[in-house]
């Protein structure tokens, strides 16, 4: 992952931290910080996220309204090869896109009133299907998240650029 990110960006800020989980097996988590100055930076950002995901297929997107979560997810879907129109699933809660015979699921849990609504829609059939799942507003379903995923946090800087922080869990 580090070589892929360095190749794409050169001066990316990378922090490595380790932690010992309950099963006493050391694990290393890599945190990557990418500054996105313009929309032209999104293809390489999407490539870094997917290639550096440690085989995670679940991605949790955090950021304020308008930070660019859906825009980045559109680029991720394009990088993965979908020709479908990628739109925000704010009202449908989940959109499905196709790449050949595989599916990509794009969730927006912003409108959920409680986690029971995600249970009612059968979220686990999506999360555990082995497909890519891009989840906006995961903080609405904290008890339903799988054990392994990639966090993607988007922060808007004062100059309008975006700081994208990726961390594999």
Question: For residue 1, what pLDDT is reported?
Answer: 46
Q: Is the pLDDT of residue 5 over 50?
A: no
Backbone torsions φ then ψ of 109, nearest 5 degrees: -95, 15
Residues 6+ away with beta carbon under 8 Å from 167: 29, 30, 31, 32, 150, 151, 153
Q: Looking at per-residue confidence, does 3 or 89 come out higher?
A: 89
Cα–Cα distance, 83 to 97 (Å, whole number): 8
* Domain harbouring 83, CATH code: 3.40.50.300
Whether 140 contacts 50, CB under 8 Å? no
Q: Is the pLDDT of residue 22 over 80?
A: no
What is the mean predicted confidence (pLDDT) over 74-98? 94
Question: For residue 14, what pLDDT is reported?
Answer: 46
Question: For residue 12, what pLDDT is reported?
Answer: 46
Question: For residue 25, what pLDDT is reported?
Answer: 53
Show the domain range for 43. 2-168
Q: Exposed, middle or buried, 147 (CB in 10 Å: 0-12/13-18/19+)?
A: exposed
Instruction: From 24, 28, 85, select the one nearest 52 (Cα to Cα).
Output: 28
Whether 97 contacts 77, CB under 8 Å? yes
What is the mean predicted confidence (pLDDT) over 101-110? 96
Identify which of 53-57, 60-64, 146-150 has the greatest average pLDDT. 60-64
Q: Is the pLDDT of residue 10 over 80?
A: no
Among all chains, which residue has been given the structure tokens 């360095």?
6
Domain total for the chain? 1
Q: Is the pLDDT of residue 151 over 90?
A: yes
Percent of the chain with pLDDT over 90: 67
DSSP designation for 57: -
Question: For residue 4, what pLDDT is reported?
Answer: 46
Label residue 11 by pLDDT band (50, 70, 90): very low
Whether 62 contacts 51, CB under 8 Å? no
The pTM score is: 0.84
Cα–Cα distance, 34 to 52 (Å, whole number): 12
């Amino acid at each position: 992952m580090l070589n892929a990110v360095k190749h794409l960006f050169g001066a990316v800020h990378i922090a490595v931290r380790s932690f010992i989980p309950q099963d006493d097996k050391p694990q290393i988590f890599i945190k990557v910080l990418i500054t996105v100055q313009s929309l032209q930076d999104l293809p390489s950002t999407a490539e870094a996220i997917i290639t550096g995901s440690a085989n995670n297929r679940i991605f949790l997107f955090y950021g304020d309204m308008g930070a660019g979560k859906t825009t980045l997810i559109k680029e991720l879907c394009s990088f993965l090869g979908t020709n479908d129109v990628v739109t925000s699933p704010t009202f449908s809660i989940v959109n499905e896109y196709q790449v050949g015979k595989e599916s990509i699921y794009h969730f927006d849990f912003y409108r959920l009133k409680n986690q029971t609504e995600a249970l009612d829609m059968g979220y686990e059939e999506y999360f555990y299907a082995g497909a890519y799942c891009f989840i906006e507003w995961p903080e609405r379903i904290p008890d339903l998240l799988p054990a392994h995923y990639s966090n993607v946090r988007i922060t808007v800087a004062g100059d309008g650029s975006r700081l994208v922080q990726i961390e594999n869990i």
